[in-house]
Structure formats: C-alpha cells, structure tokens
Amino acid sequence: MSKDISQVLYSAEELAQRVEALGKEISEYYKKEHINSLLVVSVLRGSVIFFSDLIRHIDDLDLEFDFITISSYGSSAETCGKADILNDVAEKVAGRHVLIVEDIIDTGITMAAVVERFLAKGVKSLKLCTLLDKPVRRKVQNLKIDFCGFEVPDQFIVGYGLDYAGRYRQLPYIGVLEPSVYKK
C-alpha cells in the first residue's frame, strides 16, 4: 500500500468481482430490452481502467466504444464547478443506444454536462454507469445513475484510475488519500 493512502476501501479482488457483476447486469438489461448494438463511452481519464475491465464482461452485444475527455478538477482536490469538454467522441451518436462509463459521480456537474451534450445530439437511449457514487456531495439532484458499483463516503479517494493531480491512477485498489497530501 502506498504511504499516502490511509485506508483501502476496495481491494483489487473486490473491484474485479463487482466489475464482473456490473458487466453481467448491463448485459442482462440490454438483452431484456432487445437491444443488440451499444456504443459505450468512457469519460477520460479516470474511467479508463474501469472501462477496460467492464467492457470485457458485457456479453452478447455488438459493442463499439469511444472516449470523451472532460476537465472539472484540474490539479485541485475540489471541482471548479464547471465541466469543460476537451475532446468529444468521434463516433456519430444520433439514433444510437449509448452507455456512458464514469469512474466517480460526486457533485454530478460533469455528468450532467455529458448527459446534456449526448441528449442534444439525439441519442436513441442513454444510460449511465459509474464505478463509484458519492451522493453526499451531489449538487445535480435529478441525475439518474443506471448502473453503480459502490456508494462511497465523503473522503478523497484514489486508485484504479482515480487520481489526485495526475498521481495514484495506477493503484490496483481504491484507497483514501491522506489529507496531508492534498491540503498542503
């Protein structure tokens, strides 16, 4: 464990089990809805590890994937309250079933901006999947999360793609970052 981590919230094994279960849940949902083709969009950079593991557990669907890059934190521990789209998806989304994959939803500001953007482009259906949900910090109250891995406490967490100032993404677990690291 990194010296900057005060506690491991979810081990690599717990993450692997939950991600596999989420993949099966997503597969079952779309099969039940008779949807065979899905565009899965990763919100970069934080979701890339979760996204890569998740799509390998979505079975019996014709999957395409794409990426969107959003910035709302920069090098800070607090969101700036505005989501800037740095790179948009390359695929056409109009008339398609789309699943957005995010690492964590806390205030909901970033995800609300993504949802608004995709709805404006005329998607046929839009679902949200997040590995982590931090509802205690929610500022956007009407945001519907369709598939969720874990609900997390109001602590600064890193690992498995989540970072602080670009660091800790490579950790195979999700842990609580020592406040002394980000409150300098």
Q: What are the sequence ranges of the domains in the chain?
A: 13-153
Catalytic residue, candidates 106, 133, 146, 154 = 106
Average pLDDT over residues 60-88: 73
End-to-end CA distance of the chain: 22
- Return the CATH number of 13-153, one of 3.30.465.10, 3.40.50.2020, 3.40.50.300, 3.50.50.60: 3.40.50.2020
Within 13 Å and on the Cβ side, how many CA atoms surround 12? 5
Task: Give tens-digit pLDDT for 98-155.
Answer: 999 999 999 998 899 899 999 999 999 999 999 999 999 899 989 999 999 999 999 9
pLDDT at 81: 60
Assess whether 106 carries a catalytic annotation.
Answer: yes
pLDDT of residue 63 exceeding 90: yes
Residue 2: pLDDT over 90: no
Q: What is the pLDDT of residues 159-181, one digit of tens each?
A: 999 999 989 999 999 999 998 88
What is the b/e burial string over 17-35, where b = at least 16 CB atoms within 10 angstroms of the residue's CB?
ebbeebbeebbeebeeeee
Q: In what order do the strands lie in the sheet with 5-10?
A: 5-10, 174-177, 157-158
CA 48, 49, 54, 55 dihedral sign is: positive
